[in-house]
Structure 1
Amino acid sequence: MRKLTFGMNVTLDGYIAAPGDDLGWSGGDGPDSSPSDELFQWWSDRVAATGLALYGRKLWNAMSSHWPTADRQPGATQAAIEYARRWRDMPKAVFSSTTAAVDWNTRLVTGDAVAEITRLKAEDGGPMDIGGATLAGAAMRAGLIDEYVLVTVPVLVGGGTPFFTALDGWVNLSLAETRTFPGGVVLTRYETRR
């Protein structure tokens, strides 16, 4: 059975996006900042190790608007070039009923997300990552997430899209890892206790 992880950058007050889907806070040093080299490398290595990435529509739109050609942009760093290549190569599934087409080693899923994620978890293969608040929320409510990775940025945005969705019951977790990054960013990784 494949492991399913929900991991994203999150504000200290629990949001993955500020009002208006603003992600400018995610680097940790104010509006429109970039993550530290160390944190960016951590995310890049995570992409390289992912067997299948599951995206909701909004996150897909954000990622696919930049990463497919980021390695060809003027002034692209070696780290950005490596990430872009890893991202394009990583198998991906986009869950959306309104997206018409996908590309870059990606398939489109228009049916029941929970049923498809359940099917994918039962397959052999590498670990799966899930991203996007609505999609991850559906997987949370269905009890499908095995691990939560919160990369907490020391900023308060006061509202927006929460990392956690409303649940029908408690989910007990065990702390598996903590790590600090430059700029006061803290990674916490929790495993679901079953």
Structure 2
Amino acid sequence: MPLTCHAFVAASLDGFIARPNGSIDWLEPFNAADEDHGYDAFIADKDGIVMGRGTFETVLGFGHWPYALPVIIMSQTLTVDDIPESLAELVAICDMEPAELLVALAEEGWQKVYVDGGQLLQSFLRDGLLNDITVTRVPLLLGQGRPLFGALSADVQLTHQHTVSFPSGLVSTKYGISAQ
């Protein structure tokens, strides 16, 4: 089975994944809603997570590490000294290009990768490496912030797979991404 890449991301209704300063505090009321938004089912069959530096730094600010899976941080600037000692067995830093990393992960036996982080997700999308994306729209307008999607050199064809709405107003849609 070839290695596949999958994203699961929340965005404001106007398309932002974070405030201009990177804060995701606006998600807290929705995380507190006692709803299953499908994350546990999504992550259950993944071999690991490939995460961007900014997302890693945000997650470190949570005060607890929420992942049991191995995490690869894509960064040109971080070093092993930037990884807390308590995470040394779960987190690694990588400065490869995404396609190179995927080859290496496939050689290690990984089959399904969770790609997390705005800029990294955009990079994987531009390089045609993302197989599907689940976008959960949050009923909130931020007006400004870090966009979910950036500039693309060509259109990316998506295929609707399913949509689920929640009492809190969140709407989660999964799209397959056509090969480019």
TM-score w.r.t. structure 2 length? 0.84
* CA displacement, residues 74-116 of structure 1 (integer Å, 9 cap, x when unaligned): xxxxxxxxxx3xx1x2111001122222325121102323432
Is the contact made by 1:149 and 1:187 (CA closer than 8 Å) also made in structure 2?
yes
1:95 to 55, 74, 80: 74
Q: Does 1:61 align with 2:57?
A: yes
Q: Which runs of 5+ in 1 are unaligned?
A: 70-83
Q: Does 1:39 align with 2:36?
A: yes
Give the deviation of 1:154 after TM superposition: 0.4
Q: Does 1:49 align with 2:67?
A: no
Q: Does 1:11 align with 2:3?
A: no
SS at match of 2:21: helix
* CA displacement, residues 24-77 of structure 1 (integer Å, 9 cap, x when unaligned): 2224x4xxx63422236x3234334321111100101111332636xxxxxxxx
Is the contact made by 1:52 and 1:92 (CA closer than 8 Å) also made in structure 2?
yes
* CA displacement, residues 120-146 of structure 1 (integer Å, 9 cap, x when unaligned): 357643421111111111111111111
What residue is the counterpart of 1:80 in the other structure?
none
Is the contact made by 2:50 and 2:74 (CA closer than 8 Å) also made in structure 1?
yes
Q: Does 1:131 align with 2:116?
A: yes
What residue is the counterpart of 2:26 in the other structure?
25
Distance 1:4 1:35, change over 3 A: farther
The percent of aligned pairs where both chains have the same amino acid is 23
Q: Does 1:154 align with 2:139?
A: yes
How much is the aligned-residue C-alpha RMSD, in angstroms? 2.2
Q: Which runs of 5+ in 2 are unaligned?
A: none
Distance 1:155 1:118, change over 3 A: farther
Give the deviation of 1:119 after TM superposition: 4.4
* CA displacement, residues 132-168 of structure 1 (integer Å, 9 cap, x when unaligned): 1111111111111110110110001011111112110
Is the contact made by 1:59 and 1:132 (CA closer than 8 Å) also made in structure 2?
yes
What residue is the counterpart of 1:109 in the other structure?
94
Q: Does 1:163 align with 2:148?
A: yes
Tell me the amino acid that sits aligned with residue 38 of structure 1. Answer: E
In the alignment of these two chains, the number of paired residues is: 172
Matched residues in 1 for 2:32 and 2:101: separation? 33
Distance 1:112 1:9, change over 3 A: same
Tell me the amino acid that sits aligned with residue 22 of structure 2. Answer: D
Q: Which moved more, 1:150-159 or 1:48-57?
A: 48-57
What residue is the counterpart of 2:167 in the other structure?
182
Matched residues in 1 for 2:4 and 2:150: separation? 20
